[in-house]
């Protein structure tokens, strides 16, 4: 579940499916998303950089990083309960 969503304590409704692409729209996220969809579990760090001009030369600096950790989980259908 994405950290911007509150975690339900108890609910009778199925959580709404949302593609992470709607929240993570920085350059380079395509590779992370592809790995999340293809691999059963993993961890990947993505550095987000910003380039700016300082005294005639372009300088690139890491602004922040995002660390993604995932593991696919199965689900129990209501028919098996």
Q: What is the pLDDT along the chain (81 residues), one digit of tens a residue?
A: 566 666 666 667 776 777 877 778 788 889 999 999 999 999 999 988 888 888 888 888 888 888 999 998 876 665 555
pLDDT at residue 81, as a whole number: 54
Look up residue 41 and give its two tokens: 């579990």
- Among positive and negative, which fits the CA dihedral 3, 48, 61, 59? negative
What's the rounded Cα separation, in Å, for the pair 52 and 37?
Answer: 34
pLDDT at residue 59, as a whole number: 86
Q: Is 80 in contact with 66 (CB distance < 8 Å)?
A: no
pLDDT at residue 23, as a whole number: 76
What is the model's pTM? 0.58
């Amino acid at each position: 579940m994405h950290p911007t969503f509150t975690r339900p304590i108890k609910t009778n409704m199925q959580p709404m499916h949302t593609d992470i692409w709607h929240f993570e729209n920085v350059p380079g996220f395509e590779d992370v998303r592809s790995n999340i969809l293809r691999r059963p579990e993993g961890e990947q760090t993505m550095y987000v950089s910003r380039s700016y001009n300082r005294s005639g030369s372009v300088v690139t600096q890491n602004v922040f990083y995002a660390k993604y950790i995932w593991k696919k989980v199965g689900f129990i259908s209501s028919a098996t309960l």
